[in-house]
Amino acid sequence: MVDNNIILIAQQGNRKAIKVIYDDFAGKAFVICLRYAKRREDAEDMLQEGFVKIFHNIKQFDFKGNFEGWMRRVMVHACIRFLGKIEIYNDIEQPEFTNLKTNSPTIISELSEMEILALIEKLPNGYKLVFNMYVLDGYDHAEIAAKLSITESTSRSQLVKARRMLQSFLGKNNFEPQQVLKIVE
């Protein structure tokens, strides 16, 4: 956890303080980016964009909230913006996934982080986006709808479909983490 004094110094533009903040948060931020990105290279670009945005706007952090929470939101925003540049929104409406199994014996939260990342990486862009925002980044459907310019009901349905697809990955027994973990390696 970064001390408030470090943040204050970083707000003055001190490069060492900025590096301390980067070192403290880069690992977690990279996970956020990996969750949203399709490729590892994209995640690195997202990370770069996010941190540049964080450091350019760090003076706006007013110490009223949690600094890491603030950075997370900026980072998520950078990811969404990055995806926006490649017109992600056009494929948010995915074709119905008909063969979904909902009675998978495996509970996703019991998987390791890397395994979950690998699962998420397999989701179509639209599902992945909503799943990430809602489940892992704490946005509600109204916020997601506003950010992605979709309706709340669309957001809900995307989430349901994402869950079903994840479960189906597990239930179909075709999930082999070692083969799909390329993104995080």
Partner 1 sequence: MREQDKKLKEKFQQYSIVPPETVWYKIEQRLSSKQRGLFFFQEIQKINFIASMVGLLLVMWLSFDQISSDMPTQSFNSESADNAKQDNTITDKVSVSQIANSSGDKLLKKPIRKAERIFFEKDQNINTNLSDRNGENTITNGELIEKGIVALDHFPLSDLMKQEESWVNTKERGNVYVSPEISILGLQKVSNQDAQLNFPAIVNKKITKPQNQYYLEVFTGAEYISRKLEAKSSEYNDFAVNRNETEKFVSSIQGGVLIGVNFPSKWSIAAGLNYSNETYLFNAKLNSSRWKTALVAVDTLFSNPQNPEIVYKSIQYTETGVLNTKVYNSLHSIQMPIKIGYSFSIPKMRINLFVGLNTGYLFYTRGQVADLKGSSQNIQYAHENNPYKLGINMNATTGISFAYLLNSSLAITMEPQIQIPIIGYSESTYPLLEKQTRYGLRLGLRYGLR
The site for partner 1 (CB under 8 A) is made up of 13, 15, 18-19, 22, 26-31, 34-35, 44-45, 47-48, 51-53, 55-57, 60, 73-74, 76-77, 80-81, 84-85, 87, 89, 107-109, 113, 116, 134-136, 138, 146-149, 184
Task: Report in angstroms how near the CB of residue 174 gets to partner 1 at its nearest.
Answer: 21
SS3 124: coil
Q: How far is the CB of 44 from partner 1 (least distance, A)?
A: 5
What are the angstrom distances between the C-alpha of 16 and each of 6, 12, 118, 128?
A: 9, 11, 34, 36
In this structure, which amino acid lies at residue 48? Answer: Q
Compare residues 98 and 140 and give the one whose CB is closer to partner 1: 140
- Taking alpha carbons only, the member of 14, 25, 85 closest to residue 50 is 25
Query: 6-26 burial, b for 16+ CB within 10 Å, e for fewer?
Result: bbebbbeeeeebbebbbebbe
* Nearest-approach distance from CB 19 to partner 1, in angstroms: 8
- What is residue 96's DSSP assignment? P
Pair 39, 183: CB distance under 8 Å = yes
The nearer residue to partner 1, 90 or 98, going by C-beta atoms, is: 90
Distance of closest approach, residue 166 Cβ to partner 1, in angstroms? 10
CB of 184 to partner 1, least distance (A): 6
Residue closer to partner 1 by CB (options 43, 98) is 43
Looking at the Cβ atoms of 98 and 113, the one nearer to partner 1 is 113
